[in-house]
């Protein structure tokens, strides 16, 4: 739960404006509507009461427009949002003046339909510097949530570490919002706090949000462990309509995974479950498999880097067989091995809607890769992304992969990096890619490929109109062949990825090592040879 020591570059944020700034602008707008000017001489002034109401509505609408713009460009300093804010205020002020006095009653919209913008629905304090937040700052920071009639349906408290005092300030506010909140992001919101205080904060938020009908809940990056999961138990138990749940980088062990399964009684509507970077292991995977089994609507499942072996992989694969609406599957960086890969291949036979599948670094070997490729050949007709890097796949699996690729007319990205396909496998795969017109990216880096394989891949993809990137770095391509690749891509040099890690004099180190070892062993035996 330690606060990240990395700090972001210093910058001045121009957006959002303070409440004082907004109120000052409302007063200026009201003054412009009531005093003589070149515009009021042409369109008439408004009385003070009507001007005040109109000014407030103008500012509210302009702020919502500018804030929506800023939300789509969150890494900027807010300068463009400020400019849009001022421009909208001016435009809407002129519209009110054109309508004239007495035409802006409560029964009529002050702003024309085409200019109307929905009120803010997202309250987000995550932008800016990562920092602690205590009671005094919480009162000011969370004040917009206390405004009567606010329209916030999503809150994001990520990136700010709440102490117990700040949590108690937030508690009554969250209780007052129970009937309107649909999305809650509490990721990374207790960083750097001592365990006892962090758990107390979690319990306060959990109790305050109990019974809220949420569609989205993010509790990632909080080093939850079993204690943290149980601290959120009140909130989790009360959820029956969740569609998205994120529990990434939470230190969830076997016992914590069991608590997750216990505290989420209803997942029938769950569409997204992300469980990346935990310490779940095989036993924990059995508990997560139970959650998956109860989630027939699941469309996006991520369970990467969770220390799952073949036993847990088999259990998860069996559970995934129930998720026939799955569109995206990410199991990267686990140890499913051959047995887990074969079990997964059986589950994939039911996934006709699959669009993206990420199976890198699972130790599948040829047998597991072939089983999966054979299944995908007959299923997932609309597959767009296939990733099977780092699985010790050799040319022996290439024919099955080729047959699978031949049926994937919508494929846009193929990643088979860090395998051992060599030239023969690369050439076979390149021929299978000829008919895939949607293809945009190929990664066959670190596959012991020389000039022949790289050249065939280049000639295949360079003709594709929408192709973006060929990565053959980390292979054994000679300097002369690199020059030829550059010539092939002379009209579209950005299509060819970097070759800075390529070894022009590369040889199969393993084979050389085996050869040397054999020669040494033979020499040793010859020394002791006795002729009778």
Q: How many domains does the chain have?
A: 2
Q: What is the pLDDT at residue 76?
A: 67
* pLDDT above 90 coverage of the chain, percent: 70
Q: How high is the pLDDT of residue 507?
A: 63
Residue 108 placed within a domain? no
- Determine the pLDDT at residue 11: 47
Examine residue 473 and state whether it is found in any structural domain, yes or no. yes
What is residue 457's predicted lDDT score, i.e. its pLDDT?
98
Per-residue model confidence as pLDDT tens digits over 331-379: 999 999 999 999 999 999 999 999 999 999 999 999 999 999 999 999 9
The pLDDT of residue 129 is 84
What rounded mean pLDDT belongs to the chain? 88
Give the burial string for 284-303 (b: 16+ CB within 10 Å, else e).
bbbbbbbbbbbbeebbbbbb
443 membership: H or E segment, kind and range: strand 441-443
**Are 343 and 318 within 8 A, CB to CB?**
yes
Q: What is the reported pLDDT for 73?
A: 66
- If one compares 190 and 9, the residue with the highest pLDDT of the two is 190
Asked whether the predicted pLDDT for residue 170 surpasses 90, the reply is yes
Q: What is the extent of the structural domain holding 73? A: 19-99
Each residue of 233-271: pLDDT tens digit? 999 999 999 999 999 999 999 999 999 999 987 899 999
Q: What is the predicted pLDDT for the residue at 183?
A: 98
Instruction: Please list the alpha-helical segments (H only) found in 326-478.
Output: 337-348, 365-378, 398-405, 422-432, 451-461
Residue with more model confidence, 108 or 408? 408
Kind plus residue range of the DSSP H or E element containing 385? strand 385-387
Domain assignment present for 475: yes
Phi-psi region of 419 (alpha: psi -120 to 50; beta: other; left: phi over 0): beta
Cα 167 to Cα 169: distance, rounded to the nearest angstrom:
5
| 492 is a domain residue | yes
* pLDDT reading at 1 higher than 60: no
In a domain, 29, yes or no: yes
pLDDT-derived band of residue 414, with 50, 70 and 90 as boundaries?
very high
Which token pair is 442? 């190929």
More confident position, 367 or 508: 367
pLDDT, residue 508, reads: 54
Name the percent of the chain lying above pLDDT 70. 87
Q: Is the pLDDT of residue 513 over 50?
A: no
Domain membership of residue 445 (yes or no) is: yes
Q: What is the pLDDT of residue 83?
A: 83
pLDDT-derived band at 517 (thresholds 50, 70, 90) equals very low
The pLDDT tens digits of the residues spanning 203-222 come to 999 999 999 999 999 999 99
> Cα angle vertex 214, ends 63, 180, to 5°?
45
Q: Quick check: is 362 in a domain?
A: no
Instruction: Tell me the per-residue pLDDT of 129-164, one tens digit each, with 9 for 90 and over.
Output: 889 999 999 999 999 999 988 999 999 999 999 999
- pLDDT at residue number 6: 42
Q: What is the CATH number of the domain that holds 24?
A: 1.10.246.200
Tokens of 169: 């300030």
Per-residue confidence (pLDDT) for residue 93, from 0 to 100: 83
pLDDT of residue 213: 97
Q: What is the pLDDT of residues 265-304, one digit of tens each?
A: 789 999 999 999 999 999 999 999 999 999 999 999 999 9
175 has a pLDDT exceeding 60:
yes
Angle at 118 between CA 116 and CA 120, to 5 degrees: 135
Does 16 sit behind a cis peptide bond, omega within 30 degrees of 0 on the bond before it? yes
Question: Which CATH number goes with the domain that contains 447?
Answer: 3.80.10.10
Domain ends where: 83, 99, 115? Answer: 99
User: Is the pLDDT score of 307 beyond 70?
Assistant: yes
Domain-ending residue, one of 99, 117, 151 = 99
- 482 located within any domain: yes
Mean of pLDDT values over 107-114: 43
Is the model's pLDDT at 202 over the cut of 70?
Answer: yes
């Amino acid at each position: 739960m330690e606060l990240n020591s990395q700090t972001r570059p210093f910058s001045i944020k121009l957006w959002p404006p303070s409440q004082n700034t907004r109120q000052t602008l409302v007063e200026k707008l009201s003054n412009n509507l009531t005093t003589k000017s070149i515009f009021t001489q042409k369109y008439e002034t408004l009385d003070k009461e009507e001007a005040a109401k109109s000014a407030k509505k103008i500012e509210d609408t302009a702020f919502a427009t500018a804030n929506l713009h800023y939300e789509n460009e969150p890494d900027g300093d807010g300068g463009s949002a400020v400019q849009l804010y001022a421009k909208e205020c001016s435009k809407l002020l002129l519209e009110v003046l054109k309508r004239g006095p007495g035409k802006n009653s409560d029964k009529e919209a002050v702003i024309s339909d085409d200019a109307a913008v929905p009120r803010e629905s997202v309250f987000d304090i995550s932008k800016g510097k990562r920092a602690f937040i205590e009671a005094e700052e919480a009162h000011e920071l969370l004040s917009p949530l206390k405004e009567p009639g606010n329209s916030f349906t999503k809150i994001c408290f990520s990136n700010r570490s709440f102490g117990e005092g700040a949590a108690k300030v937030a508690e009554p506010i969250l209780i007052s919002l129970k009937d309107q909140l649909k999305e809650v992001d509490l990721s990374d919101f207790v960083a750097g706090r001592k365990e006892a205080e962090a758990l107390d904060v979690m319990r306060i938020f959990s109790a305050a949000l109990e019974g809220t009908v949420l569609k989205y809940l993010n509790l990632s990056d909080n080093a939850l462990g079993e204690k943290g999961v149980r601290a959120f138990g009140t909130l989790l138990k009360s959820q029956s309509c969740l569609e998205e749940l994120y529990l990434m980088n939470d230190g969830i062990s076997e016992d914590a995974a069991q608590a997750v399964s216990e505290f989420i009684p209803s997942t029938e509507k769950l569409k997204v479950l992300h469980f990346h970077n935990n310490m779940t292991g095989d036993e924990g995977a059995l508990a997560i498999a139970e959650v998956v089994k109860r989630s027939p609507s699941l469309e996006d499942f991520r369970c990467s880097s969770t220390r799952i072996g073949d036993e847990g992989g088999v259990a998860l694969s069996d559970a995934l067989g129930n998720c026939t609406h799955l569109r995206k599957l990410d199991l990267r960086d686990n140890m499913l091995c051959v047995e887990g890969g074969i079990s997964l291949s059986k589950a994939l036979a039911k996934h006709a809607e699959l669009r993206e599948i990420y199976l890198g670094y699972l130790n599948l070997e040829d047998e597991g890769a072939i089983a999966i490729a054979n299944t995908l050949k007959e299923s997932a007709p609309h597959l767009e992304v296939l990733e099977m890097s780092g699985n010790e796949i050799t040319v022996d699996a290439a024919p099955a992969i080729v047959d699978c690729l031949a049926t994937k007319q919508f494929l846009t990205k193929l990643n088979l990096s860090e395998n051992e396909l060599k030239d023969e496998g690369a050439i076979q795969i390149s021929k299978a890619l000829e008919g895939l017109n949607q293809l945009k990216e190929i990664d066959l880096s670190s596959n012991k490929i020389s000039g022949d394989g790289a050249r065939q891949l280049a000639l295949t993809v360079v003709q594709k109109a929408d192709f973006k990137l060929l990565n053959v770095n980390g292979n054994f391509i000679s300097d002369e062949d690199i020059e030829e690749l550059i010539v092939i891509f002379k009209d579209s040099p950005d299509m060819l990825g970097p070759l800075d890690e390529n070894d022009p004099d590369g040889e199969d180190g393993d084979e050389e090592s085996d050869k040397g070892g054999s020669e040494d062993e033979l020499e040793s035996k010859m020394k002791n040879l006795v002729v009778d």
